């Protein structure tokens, strides 16, 4: 039963989450490196991990992380909480705090089927809830306005902080790779700071095959992520692909689930800091294979975004200097970049292909859409 009146809200029960079955279809899988963070705090652990990661990121910018300290049960519980939110809460309750794209504000609830795609009559199919950091800045504006978040706060907060800690370790490794002070990136991304970071529950609603065909089966067009780093808790339902470079051009390859792993991808801000030495990864989501398309494709993510005070500029890294990649460009506010991108991407009545179009803030530029 859904609950309709936010003022008499009662907590739903949260059934255990069952992972969907893996596909038996033969897909072309990308070759992902796996980084085991268990040795992060051991002497010389970070250095060895940075070396491993350095190999991984110069290829595709996508890699898997294990040994991250978040148990499978904790992840399963978050999938359960996400599923129950979407299924048990009424539209009225969900809409207590919605995203505000006009302001580049991506916190709260976004309903599916509100906009069309690629100039057709087919509707975009993503429903999501973006949960900000539990650092005091967002309690009144977001967290306390959604009774579900308020009620399950302690375990969601704990998961948000643990996810962030995984990202913090990766930021340290990126700094080591670039021979920068260890906290160079971590200082621009602190849990205590105001930023557009969010934990996300995301549900794709399946569409009829003939509708998907009008969009070349795109559920999300090729793009790079807007922030600094994305953590994607392993997704069993196939569909996510990355664009990899081959000798004969580019090829899209599927991302395989990694048991207990977090799939990480570098996003635009880290690409800017490193003049794309750290590659902001191009990826897209396609309609899942026939044996999975009926299962709801529920996703769980932590999106890291630059803090409010952060300034994006090419980092004065000895590695970048040696490679001739360093430039002294005027800095751009990290938060301004992210908010401008959210606004530009989402404040339209249709999501277009925008293949090859550019999006620019100051001297920093990305490609908006990829074929």
Ligand X SMILES: O=C(O)CCC(=O)C(=O)O
Q: Which is nearer to ligand X, 49 or 199 (CB)?
A: 199
Contacting Fe ion within 213-272 (CB under 5 A): 225
Total residues interacting with Fe ion, rule: CB under 5 A: 1
Q: Which is nearer to ligand X, 169 or 223 (CB)?
A: 223
Contacting ligand X within 245-284 (CB under 6 A): 283
Would you say how long the chain is, in residues?
371
285 contacts which partner out of Fe ion, ligand X, none, CB within 5 to 8 A by kind?
Answer: ligand X
232: helix, coil or strand? strand
122 contacts which partner out of Fe ion, ligand X, none, CB within 5 to 8 A by kind?
Answer: none
Distance CA 35, CA 163 (A): 16
> In the bound complex, what is the minimum distance in angstroms from residue 78's beta carbon to ligand X?
15
Distance CA 339, CA 226 (A): 9
Which letter does DSSP use for residue 92 in this model?
H
Q: Does 235 bind ligand X (CB under 6 A)?
A: yes
Residue from the set 261, 299, 334, 369 that interacts with ligand X by CB under 6 A: 299
Distance CA 64, CA 270 (A): 17
- The phi and psi torsions of 88 (rounded to 5 degrees) equal -100, -20
Q: Does 332 bind ligand X (CB under 6 A)?
A: no
Total residues interacting with ligand X, rule: CB under 6 A: 7
From residue 61, alpha-carbon distances to 6, 131, 281 in Å are 42, 25, 5
Q: Which is nearer to Fe ion, 202 or 236 (CB)?
A: 202
> In the bound complex, what is the minimum distance in angstroms from residue 46's beta carbon to ligand X?
28
Beta bridge partners of 36: 66
Pairing state between β 350-351 and 116-117? parallel
Residue from the set 124, 197, 225, 368 that interacts with ligand X by CB under 6 A: 225
Q: What stretch of H or E contains 304? A: strand 297-304
Position of minimal CB gap to Fe ion: 225
Q: Does 49 bind ligand X (CB under 6 A)?
A: no
Pairing state between β 126-131 and 198-204? antiparallel
Cα angle at 333 between 331 and 334, to 5 degrees?
A: 115
Q: Does 220 bind ligand X (CB under 6 A)?
A: yes
> Are 337 and 306 contacting, i.e. CB atoms less than 8 angstroms apart?
yes
Residue from the set 156, 166, 285, 332 that interacts with ligand X by CB under 6 A: 285
Residue from the set 50, 53, 131, 240 that interacts with ligand X by CB under 6 A: 240
Q: Which is nearer to ligand X, 235 or 354 (CB)?
A: 235
Name the residues that contact ligand X, by CB under 6 A: 220, 225, 235, 240, 283, 285, 299
Name the residues that contact Fe ion, by CB under 5 A: 225
């Amino acid at each position: 039963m859904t609950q309709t009146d936010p003022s008499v809200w009662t907590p739903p029960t949260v059934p255990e989450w069952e992972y969907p079955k893996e596909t038996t279809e033969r897909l072309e899988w990308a070759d992902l490196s796996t980084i085991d963070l268990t040795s992060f705090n051991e002497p010389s652990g970070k250095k060895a991990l940075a070396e491993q990661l350095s190999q991984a990121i110069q290829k595709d910018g996508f890699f898997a992380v294990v040994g991250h300290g978040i148990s499978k049960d904790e992840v399963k519980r978050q999938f359960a909480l996400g599923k129950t939110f979407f299924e048990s809460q009424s539209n009225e309750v969900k809409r207590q705090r919605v995203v505000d794209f006009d302001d580049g504000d991506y916190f709260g609830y976004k309903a599916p089927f509100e906009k069309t795609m690629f100039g057709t009559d087919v509707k975009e199919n993503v429903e999501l809830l973006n949960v900000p950091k539990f650092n005091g800045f967002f309690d009144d504006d977001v967290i306390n306005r959604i009774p579900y978040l308020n009620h399950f706060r302690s375990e969601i907060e704990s998961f948000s902080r643990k996810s962030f800690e995984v990202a913090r370790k990766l930021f340290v490794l990126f700094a080591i790779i670039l021979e920068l002070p260890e906290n160079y990136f971590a200082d621009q991304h602190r849990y205590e700071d105001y930023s557009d970071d969010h934990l996300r529950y995301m549900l794709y609603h399946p569409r009829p095959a003939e509708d998907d065909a009008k969009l070349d089966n795109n559920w999300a067009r090729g793009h790079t992520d807007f922030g600094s780093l994305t953590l994607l808790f392993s997704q069993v339902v196939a569909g996510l692909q990355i664009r990899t470079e081959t000798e004969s051009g580019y090829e899209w390859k599927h991302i395989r689930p990694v048991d207990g792993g977090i799939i990480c991808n570098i996003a635009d801000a880290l690409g800017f800091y490193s003049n794309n030495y750290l590659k902001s990864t191009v990826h897209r989501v396609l309609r899942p294979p026939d044996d999975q398309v009926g299962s709801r494709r529920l996703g769980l993510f932590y999106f890291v975004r630059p803090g409010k005070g952060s300034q994006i500029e090419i980092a004065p890294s000895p590695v970048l200097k040696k490679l001739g990649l360093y430039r002294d460009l005027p800095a751009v506010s990290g938060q301004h970049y992210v908010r401008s991108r959210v606004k530009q991407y989402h404040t339209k009545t249709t999501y277009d292909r925008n293949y090859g179009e550019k999006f620019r803030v100051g001297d920093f530029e990305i490609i908006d859409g990829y074929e």
